[in-house]
Amino acid sequence: MRNRVFALLPLLLAASACATLPAGAPTASQVVGPAATAGIAVIDLVDTPTRPQPVSLSEPAWPIADAPPWSGEIAVGDALTVTVFEVGYALFAPSGEGSAREGAPPAAGARTLPRMEVGESGAVTIPYIGAVRVAGRSSAAVGEEIRQKLRGLSQQAQVVVAVDRGPGRSVVTSGDVRNPGRQPLTLAGERLLDLIAQAGGPANRPADTRVRLVRGEQAAEIRLDQLRVDSPANVRLAPGDHVQLIRSVRSLTVLGSARNVAELAFDSDTLTLAEAIARSGGLADDRADATGVFVFRYEAGADGAPKPVIYRLNLLDPRSYFLSQRFAMREKDVLLVANARSVQFGKLVQLLNTLVTPAITVDLLTR
């Protein structure tokens, strides 16, 4: 048995030296060496004033401007209710009243005409007057025109026009929102956040939701947790706008010798490297290399094209703990905790123990 082990030992040691034993993560040298060969920059994260710190990507400029203020103009699809107030003999009095009652003293009265919907022509028809253009005009202006045209037909006529807003003064909400559908716009001048609130808010966390606004041929997106009251993206809405809430979970991936290898979702606007390490459970004491914490990401090169970059954090350097609080993680980053070099040696010992007794293993390794 002893001779058999001696025959196997050189092969086992060679396997360990060539890194052919199974491993859940590379060592730090196995990351740095191949990266240098491939021309990938490996940047040590040290707190020096000569190098700017990586920052999180900002949202692009918002291209859609505020819609013009609305003064209550009537639109196609609205419904009008016209009420005529008359003093004395009434043109619009019901049968048996007004001028039909000979000798009756003059009296004041009101008559509400049947509800009228504004069609594509933009006009409605009023008895005794004919077609009146209403689209694009205020209810007060329409009422004044009707009053003027009733002069000579009705005694002391006063006109009130009430408007029930149709789909022409609405915005459509869809997607990951609690109450999708049409939302009416009022004289208050609803903005993007107002509309989302009227629709019941997002069905998921704001950090996992993107807001897409489409106006004509323009379209723009912003994360809901970045959309604030004073944000340039909180624009005044226009009729026909389409607001879509899209579920979009931002996350990074944790690999290697962290306690919890997982996909970590951003739960706020920013996530620092220190927070990412903590949320992954920290480093595994039995196999992690504290000098080999790597962040893999794409950075914009001098020509604007993305290029791979690796950042390295040495947790044995006290300065790294301050730096990790300011290093902002980005969506799709890969956080890798390297294996300690002793991990492979420990696996070799375990392999030998499966072949011989622990006492013989110690004897073999100490010769």
What pLDDT is recorded for position 334?
Answer: 96
Q: For residues 23-48, give the mean pLDDT.
A: 84
| Distance from chain centroid for Cα 140 | 41
CB distance 56 to 95 below 8 Å:
no
Mean pLDDT of 297-320: 91
Q: Are 227 and 221 in contact (CB under 8 A)?
A: no
Query: What average pLDDT does the segment 52-66 reach?
Result: 66
Range of 40-49, 56-65, 152-161 with top mean pLDDT? 152-161
pLDDT at 287: 86
Residue 247, pLDDT above cutoff 70: yes
In the predicted structure, residue 162 carries a pLDDT above the cut 90: yes
Q: Which band of pLDDT confidence, cut at 50, 70 and 90, is reported for residue 367?
A: low
Query: Over the stretch 104-150, which tens digit does the pLDDT of each residue have?
Result: 556 677 889 999 999 999 999 999 999 999 999 999 999 999 999 99
What contacts 78, CB < 8 A, 6 or more positions away?
A: 117, 118, 163, 164, 165, 166, 168, 169
Confidence check: pLDDT of 212 > 90: yes
pLDDT confidence of residue 70 = 86
Cβ–Cβ < 8 Å for 242, 171: yes
Q: Residue 40 has what pLDDT?
A: 93
Residue 82 host element (H or E): strand 79-88
- Write down the mean pLDDT value for the chain: 83
Q: What are phi and psi of 273, to 5 degrees?
A: -65, -40
What pLDDT, on the 0 to 100 scale, is given for residue 359?
52
The answer to pTM > 0.85 is no
Cα separation, 147 vs 160, in Å, equals 9
* Phi, psi for residue 42 in degrees, rounded to 5: -115, 110
Average pLDDT over residues 166-190: 91
Q: Which has the higher per-residue pLDDT, 329 or 107? A: 329
Reply yes or no on whether the pLDDT at 53 is more than 50. no
By mean pLDDT, which of 172-181, 215-224, 239-248, 356-365 is the weakest?
356-365
Handedness of CA 345, 350, 352, 353 (dihedral sign): positive
| Pairing label, strands 170-175, 158-164 | unpaired
| pLDDT at site 56 | 44
> Would you say residue 362 has pLDDT above 70?
no
Percent of the chain whose predicted confidence (pLDDT) is above 90: 53
What local confidence, expressed as pLDDT, does residue 196 receive? 96
The confidence score (pLDDT) of residue 52 equals 43
Structure tokens at 80: 């009008």
Residue 361 has pLDDT above 90, yes or no: no
Q: What is the pLDDT of residue 336?
A: 95
Confidence grade of residue 18 (pLDDT, cut at 50, 70, 90): very low
Task: Kindly indicate the confidence band of residue 50, based on its pLDDT and cuts at 50, 70 and 90.
Answer: very low
Q: Which residues pair with 41 in a beta bridge?
A: 309
8 A C-beta contact, residue 361 and residue 352: yes
> Token pair for residue 25?
């993560």
pLDDT band, residue 267 (cuts 50/70/90):
confident
Query: Structural domains in the chain?
Result: 10-57+252-360 (3.10.560.10), 79-164 (3.30.1950), 168-247 (3.10.560.10)
The answer on pLDDT for 351 being more than 80 is: no
Cβ contacts of 154 within 8 Å, gap of 6 or more? 84, 86, 90, 91, 92
Q: Residue range 161-185: average pLDDT?
A: 92
